[in-house]
Each structure stands twice: as C-alpha cells, then as structure tokens.
Structure 1
C-alpha cells in the first residue's frame, strides 16, 4: 500500500487508503468574539465556485462558505482529507471510491434551514450538475463550468455513483494522473442538494450564485457590490478549532494605495496585493508584518490566435521580440519579479530549464514583420488588466510600456480595459486581439499549466490565446494518461518546446508574493496557490 504525496500520483499498482484527519464532526463551538476585516481588491462575480476561474471569486466563496471532498493543506499543495475522510483507488486507476464524513452540517441561514446532514446525494448533485446537460437544475439555471471543462473532466468522468449514503464512486474513462489534485480544486466545492431542490421548487435556481449554502467555516450574510461582503463564523463547522473569528468582513477596495492606508489605520487587518512600490512603507510600520515568498505564478500577454494578424506565429514572435521585458520587470515589478521564459514557474516539476526567452530585438522584429507581409505594421487592441494580481501588480503601466515598445516597430496598439469580471468574460469570448493576464497554479501539477492555459478543452475558459494546436495538445493528453514520472516529464518537456516555437502567449514575469497584515493577526499563511484563507486565522 502506498500513500500519495499530494503533489502527484506515484503509482496505480496499489489501492490507496488515506488516514482520516480530525474528528468526523464537531459539536457547536463557542467562537471568539472577534472581527477580522480583509481589504480585498475587487468584487466577486458571484458565489457559485463552479462558475468561476478568478482568485477574487474563490477567496470570497470557496474558502469561506464551502468545502470539497479533499482539499489542499493550508499553506501548501499536499492533498488532505476534507468532506471525504478516506479514499481508495482501484488497481487499474479508473475507479476512485470516497468514504465521506458523518455528522457534517450544512449552514443555517435566513434563506435556508437544512433538515439533514451532508451525505452522498450532495456529492452526486454537485458533479452531475457539471456532467449532465439535461440535469434538471442545470436546465433551470444554465451556466458554464469553465474549470471542469478546461481540464476535460466532462469527457474524462464516465459516471458518479452513490454506493451507500456515505460512499461515492467516480469511474473514469481512462487513467488521469492529476485527478486527485484536480478534485481538490475550487470548482469542486460541494453544494447542498436539499437547498438546490428548494430553489428549483420556488423557481429561484439562480439564487445558488447569490445566496450560497455550504459546509465551510463561514456563513454568508450579505453582499453589497463594490463595498462589502459579510460572513459569520460557523459554530457547527466540522473541523474543531478552525473558526477563530465570529465576524469576517471583506472591505472591497480596488485602489492598492487605499488598501495600504486602511491597513496602517487598522481599518482592515489583512490586505491583498500591495504594489511593489508600497512594500518598503509597509515594512517600516512597526504594527505590520509583510512576509513574502516566490510566487507560483506567471504573468503573460495572450495573443488571440483566432484574430489576424496574431494568428501567425512569426507575427507573434515579432511582437514578443519588440517587448522590453527587462524594463517591465524594473518598472512594474520593482525588484519583486523575475523574467519568464516558460508557461509555468521554475518551481513546477517538469519545468524546462533549457528554454530561454528571446532577447529584446526591435530590429529583428521589424524584419519578421516584413517577411510576414506587414512592413508598415498594423493596428491592434491591447487589453490592460484593471486590478492588481500576484502575477501583475500594475496592468495599466505594463500595457503602456508594451504600447510604446510596439510603436517603435510600427504597431499601433489601442489600450482597452473593462471591469475585472467583464474583462475575464469578454476575454474568454475572444473579443481581444492581445490581453494581459496571468495565472497562479491551482494544484502543483504541470497539467494545470499546460492543459488549463493552452489545451484545446480550455479554449473557452482559461486558454485566453484561444489556441488549439494538435501536436501540443496530444503531448498534454499523453502526460495526463500515465503515472510514470519519467514519461510525464518527457511529454511535458516536448510540449514546452512546441510552445516556445509557436508562442501563443508571451511570458513576462514570475512575481514575488507578499501578504501584509497587522501584527495581531494569528496564523495567517501565504498560500502557494495564490489565495487568502481565513480558516484557522485569529485575532489577538
């Protein structure tokens, strides 16, 4: 018997059995009468994790209201039991059996009072809603499930079955090495089937996205767009000691400078995404702490490969050559980033150290344009991010610098921006020519970068390049379909070489991640996957 390490599947030759962590359920606890205010950078699109791909949404819903069958440990990428206490994998690697936790209670709110505890029916509802287009709730409230489809899970999962009230079985069509890691991700948050049936009966299915109900550490109370989200600590949370504040408030503050002032004035105790220019100011404040670590991320410029002229690889290569990335690192990241050459960070296993980004060379770019049939340049749109993200602290400045670089080679770029939710939605729809975007790894597996950002299944999701290139995609599929580490490494290395040749996006930088907070905040951890989690966090 072999226990998986949480980063990758080592072998399917044996059946896995994971030791249960913690008690199966907790009695109602007395939560410390403390309030924690988090200065967040933007408004979530909603509270149904299956619909979203943005960290703004996941911090506001996934890590407050919901749990998953299995989850990543707080502050790490190791998979640990959550709503599933143990799980087994068949010898052929196709059947995953989850033994779920008894006594877990769904939250009681002003709009829902559960009559039963969490059980297998809730797992079935959650996944069949994503799997089956004819599932009644999905027909009543049609929506997309971008992460689920980006990773090809709609094609991979043959069936999800209830073995008994506390046992659920997933049967796959083929071996999928990152399946456990993918199942721990945010989209897989477990919804209440009982609540869903109530919404169906009252004709309010869409309320699942506005009035969430889960099993998580915090209970949703109210949301005022662009202002506040309010949560109460969950006294019935199944994980003893994990809820350490009675009130959690998100103070939505898009301006990073204002977030800094609020933190310094104790109007909030934790803030998101400081600008590099503010780090020294924050560090000089005796009441604050500013821990940091290398970011598991990449910021990049996506080329919409369905639009001319960026459907041409030589044109994309020329645009890349014309970007002075070193100047961007100095001005935008201000010492808190390193130049990127790959579609994944150097800390990700299978990273190809032999790939190097092309040096800044506007003369060579002009020659490439001439040979591609654009000696006079062209007009193009360049989308600038409206928010700070860990992979891009200043999207507007970066866009302006790229615009100036391209002007030197005759490319006339018009900068476009939208509110963040609209920016993502329109980018997924392919309205842009080029757009600044980025990604923080979700699960520690190479497939999470190559498949999610560049695979054919994710063209309408996180693949903002809208690039579907069969030789590349075949290698990604090959990497998924074996648990042999050496074979996976070989497939992913070859895929990275194809990426470098075709360049569907220009990698710009991997950034350092900072997490400022007041000194009286207890046990706040930097999450390598890019989120802020408040389970286990207290106030002195």
Structure 2
C-alpha cells in the first residue's frame, strides 16, 4: 500500500530498522504533557488535489495510498514516524520499548476521540481484535478487512494485555467492574484487559510476540495500526446506518465532516481538542482531478493549494509557474508489472518471465515517458533501503534474448495475455496508460499480444486483490521504511510451507491465509526462508545480507518486471507555509499554515 508519501534519508535511521536493530531493546521516552496550549491558531481552508477519490475511510479496510492520505488526518497510531523522517517517536504512547518478544507501552492520558470518548488501552485491544480475530464478535468479515491485518499485527502477536488502570473492561458488550482479569481469546492470539474496580480504562499495554520480529515497533507506526474507537467498532457491526468506511472516528488532528462522492470531495474540519501539534488551518478538503495537467493548472489558478500525482509534463507546468513551486524528494517506492502465475500458465515458467523482463524496455519507460522523475529498478527495494543489492543491474532491453528464452520454453509462437492497469497517476507510475502501451508495443516485437484492461484505481485494486488479472501494473509506497515491508508484504504468500504444492513455486489464490498483496502468487521456498530469517534477525548487517540474497533471487526468478523507483513530487501554492513531503505517513497537513 501501498501507503503514502515517501522519501528517504535512512542508512543511519535504520539503525532502528525494524524497531530493534543492533540491540534487542528499543525504547522511546517523552514528556507526557498534553498539546501545547499556547500554540498559534491559524485559519483558512487547504484544498489537496489528487488523481483519484478514496474508496473507504476505514484504515483496516484498505491497501490504497489514496485512502491513507485522508485517514492519516483522522487517526493516530501508538508510535509515529518523526515528521519528514523515517525514525520513530511517541504517538498515542508516551513510552515504548521492545525487549525480545515483549513490547511495553505507556499510553497518553487525556486524549479524546472525535465522538468525545476518552482514548484508553481498551481501544487498542478492540482495534487489534477487529483487524485480526475472526472469532471476535465485532470482526467485520474476511472480505472487509485488508491484507494488512496479518502482516502488520496478526502473524506476530501472541497476546495483548492491558493493566495499570482503575477498571477491568472486557472487550465485549459488558463491563467488568470487579477485581481480576478478563481475557478474550481468538484465532490470532489473546487480548486481555486487567485492573480493579471503577469506571475508567487503563493506560498501559503489554504485547507478547510469538517470536522475535525485528520490524514490530515500526509496524505499530504504520497507518494500518491506527487506533479506532471501541464504541465505533461496535456500532459498525450493530448499527445498519453506521459504517467506519464512511463515518471515521479517530483521535487525529482533523475530524470528518462530509464526503461528496459525486464530486469526489472529502471535507475535514479542525479538531480543537487535538493532543498534538496544530492543526493551524480550519479545514482540509481533498478533491480528485484525474488529469495530471488539469490538476497542475488548477493549482496555478488558485483552485487547489497542494497537488500530487504529478507526471513529467505537469511537473514542468508547476516548475514554470509563479504562483506555486515544485517540491521534490526521492521516494521509497517501487513500480512493477506482476505476472500472475496462479491464473496464467505460461507465467509459471521462469524463462517466460525472464523473457518478458528482457522484452520490456524499462529504460525507455523511465527516461522517455517518466522523463527523469524516476530511476530504473533492478530489485524490489530502492537504493537507500537496508539490504539493497548494489551488484544487481536492471534487465537490459534485449528482444533477441527474449525470443531465445520463449523458444526454449516452448512459446516461440508467442501467446496472448491481459495487462490490467489503473487509469489515474500514481507516484510510482505517473503515466500508466502510456507505460502500458509501451509494454504492449515491446512485447509485440517478440510475438506476444497484450490486451490492456484499464480501470479506475479503486475497482482496479479490488480486481487484482481477487486475482482476476493475468498481469498487472502495481506499485508500493513504503509503510515503515523497512525492507520487510516490501519483501514480506508483496512477495511472500504468507502461508506455511505445508500448504504449498511440491515442485511448484506459485500458490493458488484460494489457499487459506494467502497474502493477496502477492499479486504474482509467487511462492519461492528459498526466498521465503530468507525473508523469514531476516524478520527474526536483530543485527543490522546480518539482516542486510539476507535481504541482498533475497533481492538476487527475486531478480533472477522475475515474478515482476521491475520498472522504477520514482521521486515524490508535490505542487504547492505560494500561500502555503511549512509543507514538506513526508517520507512516511503523510501528508502532514496538521503542520501546514496559510499566509493570511
């Protein structure tokens, strides 16, 4: 998820890579005071224009960066990324530490949700169970929760317990006001609430992991770990007129006002009770404008304050404007073409996949279509991520080599397949239709017919998550700046080896527990073992070496055509102050001010 705004400065930052890094214990300590009461209050309305509308405003219901741009304004996480950096800091937790498999957190007191209810540890228990536990009475269903549930929390957590408060509150429909412990067990782990009598919740959390998992603290800072209101979670299931996908209830800097789906506009208002920095504007409006150039012209004419999804031509429009500036940084992302081995038999042959990688001219896509706002990719992670293998080069454009491999695989006469693509620009693919047409032309030169199937982004995500594609364009903007967020999230099927068929390196989409973000349905045993070993390795240099080996396998086995790593570009109106591109978890609109 795809996640959101991305850039990097991180060889040093990833000393805490995966929340543990060189030691088995990582901690953060801060003043537990509330938000600065003397902070300056600004005003005005900021319009943020992007290429596509949201599909949902529930962070547990999405893998889309478009959705996350909005939910990041509405929700908070226990741990956060420092503004415009990739290192960690306190969020809803004022202290946090990980020692081996035990994570301890002290929570911030006096924080309220947008519905006026106080945030406590029990809200996180409900959030965790709703996302990972099918036996939980408020679990919204397998088809509703996103693939983030397992790889963010569910696969790793053994139990979550609360304590230190003055009340015991089960995460069920009743409240236990007596002494003792209330425990709720589900399919993914155990959630426990502890305390004495009274009417308040607790402010400490202990999370026990099933095994050592280096990136866990970073996972707690991801958008998918956003803390939901326990009351809202119950309403989502019990009240037919209420859904968190259209009625978000968080603790964030902005509150939800309305969503005009017809005009693709989402309106948020300033949360006057926000515990953190800002916000300094009264209102944020997200609007969708499909054309890159139209979006740029809207910025220049004053119809928008910040725009993203900028391509090569539109970036020049902004760069040459006097009313706005182009802000850019190198992103932590990957754009790729995935080949679905489960549904399209020719892709099961490595020679075919490699042939397509040789046939597609990724250098031309990057230099001619993307025009310098991206660099060629050779592996699943960009250069500055821990474990990048500098000895791997991108596949060269070599149609003759491609034809040779197709002949060897028995497909010398070619074949025909569908390439599914989104229509609207994405950071990692700002011109998807032009890029698809280039792939179609390249592959026709080696006898392969490509049928382009283009669709709006939200239906496209549903289509690919259900495995209906033969091949598809996709990409990823990091959620936590850890290599695990690429390798495990996108290329590991996340099923146990006993569920894999002997002698094949792909897995069926109907396999129980299959990771639908692995849109190639790839299941390479050696790659899986390396990424699993890296998850439990705390020493940074050893982790890096394991990921270098995994990158080599991914390159050689070619489940994807590795296309590009793109710059992050934003157009910003002159009247906007203090906007910076966030490496992760942006846009940070609570920090933005307007010239009065």
TM-score tier by shorter-chain length is over 0.9
Pair 1:404 & 2:411 matched? no
The CA deviation at 1:71 is 1.0
Conservation of the 8 A alpha-carbon contact between 1:6 and 1:77: no
User: Could you list the runs of 5+ residues in structure 2 that have no partner in the other structure?
Assistant: 1-12, 165-201, 496-513
The CA deviation at 1:47 is 0.7
Pair 1:166 & 2:203 matched? yes
Q: 1:466 to 1:28 in 2, by over 3 A?
A: farther
The CA deviation at 1:24 is 3.0
What is the aligned partner in structure 1 of residue 531 from structure 2? 476
What is the aligned partner in structure 2 of residue 509 from structure 1? 564
- Quote the Cα distance in structure 1 between the aligned partners of 2:409 and 2:267: 55
The CA deviation at 1:16 is 4.1
What is the aligned partner in structure 1 of residue 426 from structure 2? 389
The CA deviation at 1:502 is 0.8
1:129-528 alignment to 2 at 5 Å?
Answer: 129-138=130-139, 143-151=144-152, 153-164=153-164, 165-204=202-241, 207-225=243-261, 226-239=263-276, 241-306=277-342, 307-457=344-494, 459-528=514-583
Q: 1:363 to 1:15 in 2, by over 3 A?
A: closer
- Quote the Cα distance in structure 2 between the aligned partners of 1:11 and 1:303: 34
Secondary structure of the residue aligned to 1:220 is strand
What is the aligned partner in structure 1 of residue 594 from structure 2? 539
Number of matched pairs: 526
Conservation of the 8 A alpha-carbon contact between 1:150 and 1:462: no
- Quote the Cα distance in structure 2 between the aligned partners of 1:29 and 1:141: 43
What is the aligned partner in structure 1 of residue 51 from structure 2? 41
What is the aligned partner in structure 1 of residue 199 from structure 2? none
1:6-62 alpha-carbon deviations (Å, 9 max, x no partner): 54444586654422157335669884231111112111111110121111010011x
The CA deviation at 1:204 is 4.5
- Quote the Cα distance in structure 2 between the aligned partners of 1:13 and 1:323: 43
Provide the TM-score with structure 2 as the length reference.
0.85
The CA deviation at 1:467 is 1.0
The CA deviation at 1:324 is 1.4
What is the aligned partner in structure 1 of residue 174 from structure 2? none
The CA deviation at 1:477 is 0.2
The CA deviation at 1:143 is 1.8
The CA deviation at 1:82 is 0.5
Secondary structure of the residue aligned to 2:155 is helix
Secondary structure of the residue aligned to 1:290 is strand
Out of 280-289 and 119-128, give the one that drifted further.
Answer: 280-289
The CA deviation at 1:473 is 0.6
Conservation of the 8 A alpha-carbon contact between 1:98 and 1:169: yes
- Quote the Cα distance in structure 1 between the aligned partners of 2:14 and 2:393: 33
User: Could you list the runs of 5+ residues in structure 1 that have no partner in the other structure?
Assistant: 109-113
What is the aligned partner in structure 1 of residue 509 from structure 2? none
- Quote the Cα distance in structure 1 between the aligned partners of 2:405 and 2:444: 15
Conservation of the 8 A alpha-carbon contact between 2:97 and 2:104: yes
Conservation of the 8 A alpha-carbon contact between 1:70 and 1:83: yes
State which of 78, 91, 102 in structure 1 corresponds to 2:87.
78
Provide the TM-score with structure 1 as the length reference.
0.93
Conservation of the 8 A alpha-carbon contact between 1:383 and 1:417: yes
1:52-83 alpha-carbon deviations (Å, 9 max, x no partner): 1111010011x211000001112111111010
Secondary structure of the residue aligned to 1:51 is coil
Conservation of the 8 A alpha-carbon contact between 2:581 and 2:587: yes
- Quote the Cα distance in structure 1 between the aligned partners of 2:40 and 2:114: 16
Q: 1:133 to 1:514 in 2, by over 3 A?
A: same
Q: 1:312 to 1:344 in 2, by over 3 A?
A: same
What is the aligned partner in structure 1 of residue 69 from structure 2? 59
Secondary structure of the residue aligned to 2:299 is helix
- Quote the Cα distance in structure 1 between the aligned partners of 2:278 and 2:42: 11
Conservation of the 8 A alpha-carbon contact between 1:5 and 1:79: no
1:159-183 alpha-carbon deviations (Å, 9 max, x no partner): 1111230001110010000111111
The CA deviation at 1:461 is 3.0
The CA deviation at 1:374 is 0.9
Conservation of the 8 A alpha-carbon contact between 1:39 and 1:268: yes
- Quote the Cα distance in structure 2 between the aligned partners of 1:168 and 1:84: 9
Secondary structure of the residue aligned to 2:356 is helix
- Quote the Cα distance in structure 1 between the aligned partners of 2:284 and 2:16: 30
The CA deviation at 1:155 is 2.4
- Quote the Cα distance in structure 2 between the aligned partners of 1:286 and 1:22: 44
- Quote the Cα distance in structure 1 between the aligned partners of 2:155 and 2:142: 21
Conservation of the 8 A alpha-carbon contact between 2:15 and 2:21: no
The CA deviation at 1:385 is 2.1
Q: 1:13 to 1:368 in 2, by over 3 A?
A: closer
What is the aligned partner in structure 2 of residue 111 from structure 1? none
Q: 1:465 to 1:443 in 2, by over 3 A?
A: same
- Quote the Cα distance in structure 2 between the aligned partners of 1:79 and 1:37: 29
What is the aligned partner in structure 1 of residue 197 from structure 2? none
State the Cα RMSD in Å.
2.1
Q: 1:35 to 1:236 in 2, by over 3 A?
A: same
- Quote the Cα distance in structure 1 between the aligned partners of 2:151 and 2:141: 23
